[in-house]
A and B are shown apart, each in its own frame.
Chain A
Amino acid sequence: MFSPNTSSWFISKVIWWRAAASIAWSVLLLLPTTAVFITLSKFSFLHPIQTISECLSLLMSASSVFSFILLSGVVIMVGFLILEYFTVIPTIACSKIALLGQLLHPRQVISSLAHCLMGMVVGWCCAVTVGQRYETLGYPGKSSDGQPQMYLNEYHLVFLLAGAFVGFSHSLLGVIHNMNYVCFQTVQQYKYLHFKGSLPLVLKCSTIQAFYSVRNFIIVYFFLGYIPKTWICKTLNLHLDSSVHPLDSISGLVDLSLLYHLWINASFLLFTWYITLLLFRIFVTEVYSFPVQSTFTDDSHLCLPKVLADKQPMISKFLALQDLSLLSKHSPLRRSEVFSLSQPGGHPHNWNTVSKECLALLADLTQRLVAYHETVATNGRAKSLSSGSERKSSSETSVTSGTEDLMSPRPTFLMRTPASVFTRSVAGGPHSPLTAPFTPDLDSPFASPVLRRLTAQVDQCSPWHGSVQSPHIMRRVPKLWSTSTESQVSSSSPPSPASVPSPKQEPAKPSFLGQFLQNRKEQLPEASSQALFADSQAHIWALEALSYLVQASFTEDQFGVVQTTLPSILSSMLHLQEAVDRHFKLPHASSKPLRSTNSMEEFTYKTLRFALRATLKTAIYRITTTFGNHLNAVQMSAEHRKRLQQFLEFKE
């Protein structure tokens, strides 16, 4: 489906370099952060000058240099994990059990373990740097009968475990809050200014998150602390010193100095990681300017229309759409290239590709919304489409894994499979049994019955196609969002009406466990709506690009290339408007965005549908105000003309 050179050049030439630059900056920033951390952890009010001299000497010492190298290694590792796991389409769990499935996904477990390990390394570095009583795991002493013995230093152990705990909880929260989702800014700023603006927020988030993590850790350690303690003692042949208080007791844990050090330690850890994440987001989402057309055919795969038409990788498609939307807004020079004709032949290839891609995106969303509405309408409340729960982003990691199944008779929106770490190793082959429960296998316990029903409905040419397009045509539309689909080949349900289970056909006599599972599988209505619009950033850009280009064409389009597509642009926008209106009239779709709290998790994906609704309306108004009554000459259905008239009269 896609040749490797067109898709991978972007990853290797742009994304990798951006990631490398962001990691390099985070390592550079580690130095001042560490200095501040050391000062804070060693600070004493009574001897400020002594503190400073101590800190300076510590910074120069060999052990701190070694710790610093270790910390840099951790930051680099974190950066690589972010690069490996980042996605531009958030994974939204539509039910609690789907969330559990995400957490237990092998790929996720690996990431959690890695974070845990790195947290421990950071904990060790902190313990060594803070020194004093935290420095070593064991200390020599004498037993009661005078024998020299090694005793366990529980403070050191607590530091290590706290680091591991904070790392682990960071990873878990990352999944729950979609921290690997990279969102694009509506307000373009230079990297430095953007970073400077976000720094206070990162600082606030890391200290607050550190507070909660340390609190949770203390609770866990209070109850379960004896397990690692005895295990370490056994394996390393250390002894417990009965003369000191054990730390998994109330009197041992109420130690302000220890708590303060734990908190500073956790803040430092989270701050460095958040900074890495922030820098990565800033660098990756930076605008990349694609050439609209090139003079040499060798470079044609670098051009905007070509990249837009590529399905993979997602990030390049998103960046191309962002660039398209910006060029349509800001640069008349590049717009003129879009409107230009090909030199021999005189075909508007650029415009055709661009408009076709954007329209396909809009049609895809319309179709998805209509299908969703159909499912919801049958049983009133939202027991709905769960494709989103299993929808994994097609991040660039899955580039090598895909053999596209062209003949798959699925609607495009069902073709999202997790880009599993295992499918990568067995590229092209049948997926390993390990990943089976976590792929959107229709027979899996994680897929809701509605999904199956929906699939069947689509397959049997259900009546909704009349308002959009025939499914037969839709199948021929390039599958924009699909990734490797080999996991679905095995699981196609027979497309017969008989296989449509009605919602009443749930197990008649549910066992307790079944009931419990059913409750967990209950759709969260808000989440299903979010999942439906998870990739809407692309649609927003497509709408903006189309509307600005059409607006500019009024004066700039010399050859009238836009005129030919104007009817289809208008009709697809109005179709989408209709579908979006219907979606927002559903009882569970809240009409107002939730207030976002200030934290590192990206809230944008939760509000994308509102942004899409506003952008859509503005886009239609942009076209109607530009063309005015000329639009009466455009061919369209009577229904659409009526709707358009409303827009022309500013009554929408």
Chain B
Amino acid sequence: MCSLALFPPPLPAGQSTLCESNNELLSGANSSDDRQDSSLLSLYFPRESLKLHSRTESSSKAAFLDHSETLWMRSAAAWRDGGFTGLLNEITTSHAEVPKWLSVTSGCILALLRWVSSFHGSLYPHVTLSSEDLIAEFSQVLNWPDCVVRAFAWHPHADKFAVALLDDSIKIYNPQSAISPTLKHRLQRNVAAVQWKPLCASGLAVACQNCLLVWNVDPCSLSTRPSSGCAQVLSHPGHSPVTSIAWSPSGSLLVSASPLDTAMMVWDVAVESCVPLQRVGGGGVTFLSWSPAGSHILASTPSALFRVWETRMWTCERWPCVKGRCQSGCWSPDGSRLLFAVQGEMVIYALTFSGSPGVPTSMAKGPQTAVVVADLSETTFNSPDGDIIVGGEIQSLSWDPRGERLAVLLKGDPQAANRPAIIAVFKTRANPIFELLPCGFVQGEPGAEPRLMQFHPHFQHGALLTVCWSSGKITHIPFYFLSSGVSHVGLSGSPPKLQPQERPADFANQSLFTELLS
């Protein structure tokens, strides 16, 4: 079992990680090539450049609602906005205009409802949270409400990516074109996740606060502001906020999850229909991850329980955890191994699924217990600047498409200066036995903490980790290595479309990302 004590110490202050080459992480000083680096390789979204919503929904409502409406109109509006409880609330508050018995009755019913829901709330504490708090709690992004870049997604085949920003807009960057379309929609608020549709050039699913949007952005279009008519709106009563989405690798189905809905929705996006898959227990679904082979889905719940769905007949296995909920998980490229992290524990667990996708599930015996593969408990590194404590709980996990590098985003402690959030990268090996080996820590500029990370789906020379930092920067850290086994992605993944020049020595001039983007 691997532990953080085996890792090389974190970089001294002023240094940031550039790439991995010859089996070691190279770093560079920020001061010298800072300007050039940021302009060539990466994007920078300064917080000040975004026009933020200054008011929330409730405050604007108070400003615009005409209070001289009749009781009847207000009740109808309350029914439309808040449903039954909203109606009761309206009747109870306007007790001057309604008969006394009605306001008293509705007050009693309201109290009874609240009492019942408080029971529900004590069983599942998360149901009392507001939508934004729910997204912040269950998002894979560290400190989601404060993030400039709220979601990020590489296209699975083409070299382009989508970035969801704090001002609820989504930008699409393509190194081959000068146009970066900006997607805005009335319903696109509080984006929790974005994901491109596999086997499609243009489909982008967006998990929003109240619904799911699927954008269809024509890659040949010259428009910088595609109209909201390009977006399909998928919504289902009670299914909000959507905190996680996952496309099937075959591109036909989309699953979505909401912490307030016990059902997981399986969408047929083309016809906008959905099949709710409901199971008792858990109180909702928070995080979804579809295995790259397409045979399983990890679905975690807000309580100490997660499920692994099998996608042929849509049955599930229940996996109760001891301590907390499953915070994050990722699949090996062949879909046979699942790594996951549990809230409150500082270890990475692994589950092995022996069944290949073709074998019926009755024959494929699932694993019995999860094994601990890495220990990430806090470790102190001595450095000239003072001790740095690394380790702790895990925010998210990400495995590169070849299955050779595993990036782990550690939460750290925002209060303590010497316990930063950090990305620990492991080398992974599947043969002869599965093991994790230390690779190193990925660090950015001083003061910038990693918030979100994703591996490039088809990087030629190894793996490419894209990290979004708290400062609003997006950087790409390549890991150059030769694949140990036969490439897993060679067959199912996309063939190379554009051939980057072979210049492994010149890291700063990776031709893939040399376009001036921002």
Contacts and interface: CB of A to CB of B under 8 A. Distances in A.
B382 interface: no
A615 B275 contact: no
Contacts of B405: none
B250 A618 contact: yes
B270 A629 contact: no
Contacts of B492: 626
B107 interface: no
Given A596-B273, A611-B268, A652 B497 contact: no
A189 interface: yes
Contacts of A603: 273
Contacts of B201: 621, 650-652
B317 interface: no
Main secondary structure of the interface of B (DSSP, over half): loop
A603 B268 CA distance: 13
B411 interface: no
A650 B495 CA distance: 12
B313 A189 contact: yes
B280 to A, nearest CB: 11
A621 B252 CA distance: 12
Interface in A612-652: 613-615, 617-618, 621-622, 625-629, 648-652
B194 interface: no
Main secondary structure of the interface of A (DSSP, over half): helix
Interface in A149-203: 185-190, 193, 197
A622 B199 contact: yes
Interface in A550-593: 554-555, 592-593
Chain A interface size range? 35 or more
Chain B interface size range? 35 or more
Contacts of B266: 187
A331 B275 contact: no
Given A555-B491, A650-B219, A611 B271 contact: yes
A13 interface: no
Nearest to A629: B495
B250 A187 contact: no
B153 to A, nearest CB: 15
Contact of A610 (B157, B270, B276): B270
B252 A187 contact: no
B315 interface: yes
Given A186-B268, A604-B271, A648-B497, A329 B199 contact: no
A610 B155 CA distance: 23
Interface in A400-447: none
Contact of A187 (B232, B253, B278, B496): B253
Contact of A604 (B202, B253, B273): B273
Residue among A330, A604, A608 having the largest count of chain B Cβ atoms under 10 Å: A330
A32 B269 CA distance: 37
A68 B266 CA distance: 39
A618 B269 CA distance: 13
Contacts of A592: 232, 272
B2 interface: no
B495 A618 contact: no
A611 B270 contact: yes
Contacts, number: 105
Contact of A607 (B157, B251, B270, B277): B270
Given A330-B357, A330-B358, A621 B219 contact: no
B223 to A, nearest CB: 15
B253 A595 contact: no
Interface in B146-177: 155, 157-158
Nearest to B497: A649
B220 interface: yes
Contact of B495 (A330, A622, A628): A628
A171 B450 CA distance: 62
A611 B268 CA distance: 8
Contacts of B200: 617-618, 621
Contacts of B273: 596, 603-604, 607
Given A332-B358, A615-B252, A625 B157 contact: yes
Interface string B23-52: 000000000000000000000000000000
B84 interface: no
B257 to A, nearest CB: 16
B120 interface: no
B494 interface: yes
Given A650-B201, A652-B201, A607 B357 contact: no
A584 to B, nearest CB: 12
A420 B314 CA distance: 40
Contacts of B357: 330
B69 to A, nearest CB: 29
Contacts of B269: 614
A256 interface: no
A615 to B, nearest CB: 7
B312 interface: yes
A595 B272 contact: yes
Contacts of A554: 491
Nearest to B255: A187
A46 interface: no
A333 interface: yes
- 3 smallest CB-CB distances across A and B, nearest first, come from A628-B495, A614-B270, A607-B271
20 contacts: A187-B268, A187-B277, A188-B313, A188-B314, A189-B313, A197-B277, A329-B250, A330-B358, A592-B232, A593-B270, A593-B272, A596-B273, A607-B273, A610-B271, A618-B250, A618-B252, A621-B251, A625-B157, A648-B497, A651-B219
Interface of B: 155, 157-158, 199-202, 219-220, 232, 250-253, 266, 268-273, 275-278, 312-315, 356-358, 491-497
